[in-house]
Amino acid sequence: MKSDYIWMNGKLVPFKEAQVHVLAPGLHYGLGVFEGIRCYDTPQGPAVFRLREHIDRFEDSVLALGLLEMPYSVDELVIAVKETVRANGFRSCYIRPLLYMENGPLGLNLDAHHAGISISAWEWASLLGDEGVQNGVRLMVSSFTRLHPNVNLTKAKVSGNYVNSVMAKTLAVRLGFDEAVMLDPNGLVAECTGENLFLVRKGKIHTPSTATILEGITRDALITLACDAGIEVNESPISRDQLYIADEIFVCGTAAEVVPVTEVDFRKIGTGKIGPVTSHLQQAFQAVILGENHHSDEWFDLVN
| Sequence-distant (≥ 6) Cβ neighbours of residue 304 within 8 angstroms | 45, 46, 86
Q: Please say if 273 is a catalytic residue.
A: no
195 closest CA partner among 132, 278, 259, 247? 259
Q: What are phi and psi of 291, to 5 degrees?
A: 80, 20
Minimal distance in Å, beta carbon 271 to ligand PPE? 26
Q: What are phi and psi of 53, to 5 degrees?
A: -65, -35
CB of 113 or CB of 195, closer to ligand PPE: 195
CB 96 within 8 A of CB 36: yes
CB of 178 or CB of 191, closer to ligand PPE: 191
Q: Answer yes or no whether residue 211 interacts with ligand PPE by CB under 6 A.
A: no
Part of the chain binding ligand PPE (CB under 6 A), chosen from 106-114, 132-140, 251-259, 296-304: 251-259
In angstroms, rounded to a whole number, what is the distance separating the alpha carbons of residues 70 and 61?
A: 10
In angstroms, rounded to a whole number, what is the distance separating the alpha carbons of residues 184 and 146?
A: 5
Q: Of these, 136, 216, 260, 275, which contacts ligand PPE (CB under 6 A)? A: 216
Taking CB atoms, the residue at the shortest distance from ligand PPE is: 36
Q: Answer yes or no whether residue 13 interacts with ligand PPE by CB under 6 A.
A: no
CB 184 within 8 A of CB 196: no
Angle at 183 between CA 180 and CA 185, to 5 degrees: 145
The Cα-based distances of 165 to 39, 115, 179 in angstroms read: 25, 24, 10
Q: Answer yes or no whether residue 246 interacts with ligand PPE by CB under 6 A.
A: no
CB 242 within 8 A of CB 199: yes
Q: Which of residues 53-112 bind ligand PPE (CB under 6 A)?
A: none
Q: Answer yes or no whether residue 284 interacts with ligand PPE by CB under 6 A.
A: no
Minimal distance in Å, beta carbon 107 to ligand PPE? 28
Q: Answer yes or no whether residue 255 interacts with ligand PPE by CB under 6 A.
A: yes
Q: Of these, 32, 97, 136, 194, which contacts ligand PPE (CB under 6 A)? A: 194
Q: Of these, 59, 178, 179, 195, which contacts ligand PPE (CB under 6 A)? A: 195
Q: Answer yes or no whether residue 147 interacts with ligand PPE by CB under 6 A.
A: no
Say which of 2, 11, 82, 157 is annotated catalytic.
157
Contact string (CB under 6 A) for ligand PPE, positions 125-144, x = contact: --x-----------------
SS3 41: strand
Q: Answer yes or no whether residue 191 interacts with ligand PPE by CB under 6 A.
A: yes
Q: Answer yes or no whether residue 207 interacts with ligand PPE by CB under 6 A.
A: no
What secondary structure, in 3-state letters, does 104-157 show?
CCCCCCHHHCEEEEEEEEECCCCCCHHHHHHHCEEEEEEEEECCCCCCCCCCCC
User: Annotated catalytic sites, by residue?
Assistant: 157
Residues that bind ligand PPE in the complex, under the rule CB under 6 A: 36, 127, 165, 191, 194-196, 214, 216-219, 253-256
